[in-house]
Structure formats: structure tokens, C-alpha cells
Amino acid sequence: MGHLLMVESWVGSMSRLLPRAIREGGHEFTFLTRDLHHYLRTAPEGTAHPLLAARNVVTADTNDPDALLPHIERLHSALRFDGVVTSCDYYLPTAAGIAAHLGLPGPAERAVAAACRKDATRRALADAGLPGPRFALCPDWAAAAGAARDLGYPLVFKPVDLCAGMYVRMVADETELAGAYRALADFPVNARGQRRDPVVLLEELLDGPEVSVETVSFAGTAHVVGVTDKSVGGAPAFIETGHMFPADLPEEAARAAADTALRALDALGLDGLVAHTEIKLTEDGPRVVEVNPRPAGNRITELVRHVTGIDLTAACVDVALGLRPDLTVRATGLRSAAIGFLVPEAPGTLAGIDGADGLDDEPGVLETHLAHPGATVKASGSNNDYLGHVMAADPDGPGARGHVERLLAGLGPRMVQP
């Protein structure tokens, strides 16, 4: 049995999936956080949050790595950790740094830090010769305006150190670029209290379907578990509206996406982790959008598990402990699984969702989760603002996405306007 140090967590499904995987693997964890209430506020009323299943809950300033390391050393001498893990992007480099400092298994801190910074990722991929969009790194407005004129519109505007699609926008001209720049300037500190870097990444807009490649790297070898497709909406934002595993692609396209992801992992020097690499399939070939050095979010790990029997969250636990992950494909009786998200179109207070009654009993439905009446709703601008999701499967072929889309089409949120 291993003892993991979990450094913070996402508040969504991974805050439940990761504790489950640790428990089911026969392990235990100590949860380290700067603000436990950040998580407890998300627990359904009357239930205990899965993070409270920790052997210990320790409060410390996880935003100050230099001061944190001596504290971790003292904890380690008393509690003895066998690995370090987190699901939250903002603490992935911290977790890798702690593991290295304690001599525990884990990916290289420098590689993880580069993957968590969109500008550093672009540089590493370009240096390795991977084809990608034309891009510019812009430290201020003057640099951004000049670079945009050189690159040519339309462009993708990206903060270098945020995630979940926050403030990522397609900009068609300088007026829209200025609006995106002003909106980001009003967000100087991220949701975890960390001061942001003002550098902005501008990229050529890539055309083509988007997929993600799910991989597990261990002992110097990266294993491709599969390719997931993605639907995107909410223009000018890039909001993930659904996913299906496996992607309904010709074998050649899936293989090209997988090979590109492996080259990206190698360029960044990533090993000893589960990764989720997003790729655009353009007419000129696959192009890396970003490399995420952690398991996929939006319950993609559950899609993979339903179809293949491979638990990517459990694999994340195993590699963090230095154990060989179980990547054996098992017959599940399902050929595809998909998830679709209910995206709000306007702000207000949710009065109810028409068509939700009986949704769980529809054939093929694996799970549903919908916001309750009274919930405060924002007009969606990122992957953080869903009203819920529907997950369904197809035992015969790649029909899961169509099934989910039909179910979502029958749902009608009713809003009370502010």
C-alpha cells in the first residue's frame, strides 16, 4: 500500500475520481491545501467530500514553493510519502518539484513547467521541428498589436498560464484583439490566488477537427491509449461541448495524431505521467494545440474506461508511485462512449430544465448530471460554466455522439433573467 501526497485538486469530477482511484488501488493519501473550504463548498449538501477520505488534511501555503519545501520535508519525515500527485494544472510543477526534492517517482519539474506554459510549449515544439501554427509571444499591448498585423487576422488569443479555455478567444481584427486584451488585464490573479504572467500568445487560427490523444508514459516509454474527438462551440470562445471515445477517424488519421502526440511528449521531455495532448487535424497534417501533463478532464477518463476498461486515473496513481500501470484492454461490451455538455446561452437564475425527467432511464445512458433550480448561471465563456452533462454509449459502433446530441437537444433550460 502506498501513501500519496496530493497537492491541491480540481473541484470538479477529478476531485472525486482521483480519491476513488487511490482507494480502489489499496492506497491512501494526505491532502495538502491552502484552503480546504474551496473544495467543501462544492460537495452536495449532506454528503462528505471525497477529499475528506484523506488519511490527513494539512493546510499550508501551496502557492509559495520555496517556503513549502521545508514544511514538506518535515511532513515526509513523520508521514513517509511514496509519491506526489495533483489533478490541478496550477500545481503540477509544484507536485513535480516536491517529488524530485524528496527523491520520489515523478516527471521532470522543468518538463512539466514547460507543458503548463503555452509559450514554453510552443518554443519547445518549434525547437524540435514539430510543425505548428505561426505564433508570437507578446509581453504588452504594443507588441500584441504589432505581432497581429504581421501574422494577419483571424488569430487565436491565449493567456500563457490559464486553463479550461479561460480567456482564449478568436479575434478577427484589432478592435476584438483590444477587447480580449482588456478583459484579460482585469484578471491579474487566477482562481487559486496566483499572480498571472501578462504575456499573451497569439497564434494562427488552425482549421480542422480537434482531437486529443490520451497517453501513459512510464520508464521511458509512452503508450497511446487512444484518440478522443472533441466538439467546440461558443465562438469567439472555444468551449468544449462534447467528446467521444474513440474518435470516429480513419486509421491513418488516428495514427498520425498519435504519432504527433508522442513527438510532442518527447520534445518536452515528459515521462512518468498520464498526458492529454490536444491536436488539430488540418489539411497540412496534425498540429499540436497544447500538451496537458495530467489525465484528461471533462470525464474523458470515464469514456475511456467504459470502452476499454483502462482506468487512466488509476494509471496516474500508479505512475506517481513508480508502479507499472495496468493498460490491459478489456471487453466492456461498448464500442463508443460520448459526453455532451449543456452550455448556457445567457446569464440568470436557473428555473428548471425541461425534458430532464426520465433522462437517466433512456437506453444507453451511462450518467447524467444537471444543475438544480436556483443555480446562478453565467453566460458561458470557458469550460467552467456548464449546466450539466449527459454521457451515453453505443455497443455496436461510433453512434454514441449522435445519441448524446439527440438527448441534449431535448433539454431546455429555463432562466429567470437578472
CATH of residue 188: 3.30.1490.20
Taking the C-alpha atoms of residue 112 and residue 273, their distance in angstroms, rounded to an integer, is 10
Taking the C-alpha atoms of residue 298 and residue 184, their distance in angstroms, rounded to an integer, is 24
Instruction: Look at residue 356 and tell me if it is in a domain.
Output: yes
* Same domain membership, residue 145 and residue 89: no
* Same domain membership, residue 343 and residue 300: no
Instruction: Look at residue 100 and tell me if it is in a domain.
Output: yes
Taking the C-alpha atoms of residue 233 and residue 219, their distance in angstroms, rounded to an integer, is 38
Largest CA distance in the chain: 58
Residue 44: what pLDDT?
65
DSSP string, 367-416: EEEEPPTT-EEPPP-STT--SEEEEEEESSSS-HHHHHHHHHHT-EEEEE
* Same domain membership, residue 142 and residue 28: no
Taking the C-alpha atoms of residue 69 and residue 196, their distance in angstroms, rounded to an integer, is 22
Instruction: Look at residue 110 and tell me if it is in a domain.
Output: no
Cα dihedral sign for 244, 246, 248, 254? positive
CATH of residue 19: 3.40.50.20
Nearest-5° angle of CA 301, CA 304, CA 308? Answer: 145
Per-residue pLDDT of the chain (418 residues; tens, 9 = 90+): 899 999 999 988 899 999 999 999 999 999 999 999 888 877 666 677 899 999 999 999 999 988 999 999 999 999 999 999 999 999 999 999 999 999 999 999 999 999 999 999 999 999 999 999 999 999 999 999 999 999 999 999 999 999 989 999 999 999 999 999 999 999 999 989 999 999 999 999 999 999 999 999 999 999 999 999 999 998 898 999 999 999 999 999 999 999 999 999 999 999 999 999 999 999 999 999 999 999 999 999 999 999 999 999 999 999 999 999 999 999 999 999 999 999 988 888 999 999 999 999 999 999 999 998 988 888 767 778 899 999 999 999 999 999 999 999 999 999 886 6
Cβ-contact 239, 109 below 8 angstroms = no
The residue from 299, 315, 332 where one domain ends is 332
| Other beta carbons within 10 Å of 27 | 20
The residue from 104, 125, 157 where one domain ends is 104
Q: Where are the alpha helices (DSSP H) in 103-193?
A: 109-115, 118-127, 141-151, 174-185
* Same domain membership, residue 280 and residue 200: no
pLDDT tens column, 288-308: 999 999 999 999 999 999 999
Taking the C-alpha atoms of residue 180 and residue 186, their distance in angstroms, rounded to an integer, is 10
Cβ-contact 411, 353 below 8 angstroms = yes
- Which of left, alpha, beta for 352 (phi over 0: left; psi -120 to 50: alpha)? left
* Same domain membership, residue 230 and residue 315: yes
Instruction: Look at residue 127 and tell me if it is in a domain.
Output: no
Instruction: Look at residue 171 and tell me if it is in a domain.
Output: yes
Type of residue at 136: A
* Same domain membership, residue 84 and residue 12: yes
Instruction: Look at residue 246 and tell me if it is in a domain.
Output: yes
CATH of residue 301: 3.30.470.20
Taking the C-alpha atoms of residue 114 and residue 122, their distance in angstroms, rounded to an integer, is 9
Beta strand 83-85 pairing with 3-7: parallel
- The overall pTM is greater than 0.85: yes
* Same domain membership, residue 288 and residue 371: no
Q: Phi first, then psi: what are they for 211, rounded to 5°?
A: -135, 170
What average pLDDT does the structure give for the chain?
Answer: 94
Taking the C-alpha atoms of residue 191 and residue 403, their distance in angstroms, rounded to an integer, is 35
Our measurement of the distance from residue 20's CA atom to the centroid of its chain's CA atoms, rounded to an integer in Å, reads 18
How many domains is the chain built from?
Answer: 4
Nearest-5° angle of CA 322, CA 326, CA 327? Answer: 120
* Same domain membership, residue 96 and residue 58: yes
Residue 361: what pLDDT?
92
Domain extent for 399: 336-417
Taking the C-alpha atoms of residue 412 and residue 393, their distance in angstroms, rounded to an integer, is 22
Instruction: Look at residue 264 and tell me if it is in a domain.
Output: yes
Instruction: Look at residue 121 and tell me if it is in a domain.
Output: no
Residue 42: what pLDDT?
73
The residue from 55, 85, 104 where one domain ends is 104
Considering only CA atoms, which of 213, 215, 227, 245 is closest in space to residue 327?
A: 215
* Same domain membership, residue 273 and residue 355: no
* Same domain membership, residue 144 and residue 72: no
* Same domain membership, residue 200 and residue 216: no
Q: Respond yes or no on whether the N-terminal peptide bond of residue 236 is cis (omega within 30° of 0).
A: yes
* Same domain membership, residue 284 and residue 231: yes
How far CA 104 is from CA of 67, 112, 243, 387, 416, in Å, comes to 19, 15, 34, 40, 52
Taking the C-alpha atoms of residue 274 and residue 293, their distance in angstroms, rounded to an integer, is 6
Considering only CA atoms, which of 170, 176, 232 is closest in space to residue 202?
A: 170
